Amino acid sequence: MSTSSPSFGSPAPSGCPMGSGAVRLSGASYQQTPTELYRSLRREHGAVAPVLLDSDVPAWLVLGYAELSYVLTHDELFARDSRRWNQWETIPPDWPLMPFVGYQPSVLFTEGDEHRRRAGVITEALEGIDQFELARDCRRIADGLIADFAGSGRTELMSSYVHALPMRAVVEMCGMPVSGSDTQQLVDDLRISLDAGEGDDPVAAYGRVGDRLRQLVKDKRAAPGPDVTSRMVTHGAGLTDEEIVQDLISVIAAAQQPTANWICNTLRLLLTDERFAVNVSGGRLSVGEALNEVLWLDTPTQNFIGRWAVRDTQLGGRHIRAGDCLVLGLAAANTDPEIWPESYVGAENSAHLSFSGGEHRCPYPAPLLADVMARTAVETLLEQLPDLMLAVEPTELSWRPSIWMRGLSTLPVQFSPMAQ
């Protein structure tokens, strides 16, 4: 998310409750080489570092794998209800991160039995999706998108393919029209809410998302169908319309942009890393390895805000006050040198924290559905365009200016044109 604050590493202002060692999570160097900055933070602060968010709001960034795992699995100490925050008196209504932290009656902010009730509805609604049918649907969507640019011999994949495929798949899952200005506006507003750029208004965008989904829920109450929204509307838990709207926002936001970034980062790895070059055209095992490696090394959601301390406690040698905000450093924890030999980071297992952990982890079977979408998108593209290659030097690729999401701004490619 863009900010006018000085670049990463600038000292905290006088009087900051975390002291002068806090650093701002912003700046071009952070966006392009966050791993180096995580390493620097570890050297200076250890596994839990004091940081400043937009407008110099203080928080803690949890960098260590063990420490983050502890936070995620100890809800009695680190909880999701943001109303505990001890900084609310300093937060203006139009704060850019308000869509992340402003309390809403959604599954993201509920706790205990209420969270389990809400998450259970989402789980059962998603379990109604046949993964083989989803793969066929994604293949159909991919074929149509590729056909639009296959004859040209070159395209910018982020706009023509990477964002479009999961968007259309998620729209179909939820029972919305695949095309139309309302659907495109919803997708644009979700992006702004999660990953605002210069000139964007994330608070207004978030409001428009809610309005569009309220109409969808109303429509599905009147005429339910074989889709996620209808299964949530008709579920025996009896969620209110507003509860369903808020939980749909969580589901759609988690399914669309992170999945797009997963596709993007996997394609970048396959097209730039010689370890995958031999098998890239149709090598399903290598695609699977690349997808998993990305979750370890370039996770689509690199930081997530967050958790709020229930009471005064200790974490990573730091005194955490009741109400302090903790930013979950998913990317930093996945590359924690405490769990990897110095010469190697990455694994064939799935012990990464890219889908979070504990009760508030990404609900089953959402990670499996995201894998189906990402795998189908990558494999279909490589099968249809076997000589796909970057149209620029790898060093010319740039990352989106966000401390939250990890994805490229553009991904220009070239290939042999296909006959129409």
Pairwise CA distance, residues 237 & 345, whole Å: 43
Of 82-96, 155-169, 173-187, the least confident: 173-187
The pLDDT assigned to 349 comes to 82
The pLDDT assigned to 162 comes to 97
23-414 is classed CATH 1.10.630.10: yes
* Per-domain boundaries in the chain: 23-414
CA 57 to chain centre: 22
Pairwise CA distance, residues 186 & 6, whole Å: 32
R_g of the chain, CA atoms, integer Å = 21
Pairwise CA distance, residues 57 & 89, whole Å: 11
Pairwise CA distance, residues 198 & 30, whole Å: 17
pTM of the model: 0.90
- Give 191's contacts (C-beta < 8 A, 6+ positions apart): 163, 257
Whether residue 292 is predicted with pLDDT greater than 70 in this model: the reply is yes
Helix (H), strand (E), coil (C) string for 210-262:
HHHHHHHHHHHHHCCCCCHHHHHHCCCCCCCHHHHHHHHHHHHHHHHHHHHHH
Q: Above pLDDT 90, what percent of the chain?
A: 69
Whether residue 124 is predicted with pLDDT greater than 60 in this model: the reply is yes
The pLDDT assigned to 185 comes to 84
Residue 313: count other Cβ atoms within 10 Å of its Cβ.
Answer: 16
The pLDDT assigned to 9 comes to 35
Closest CA to 391 of 409, 415, 414, 418: 414
Residue found by looking up tokens 């969808």 in the block: 216
Under the banding of pLDDT at 50, 70 and 90, the label for residue 182 is confident
Under the banding of pLDDT at 50, 70 and 90, the label for residue 34 is confident
CA 62 to chain centre: 17
pLDDT digits (tens, 9 = 90+) for 65-81: 999 999 999 999 999 99
Closest CA to 324 of 302, 300, 306, 298: 306
The pLDDT assigned to 7 comes to 29
pLDDT digits (tens, 9 = 90+) for 333-346: 999 999 887 656 55
Closest CA to 334 of 371, 368, 374, 304: 304
Give the pair of three-digit tokens for residue 99: 């869509």
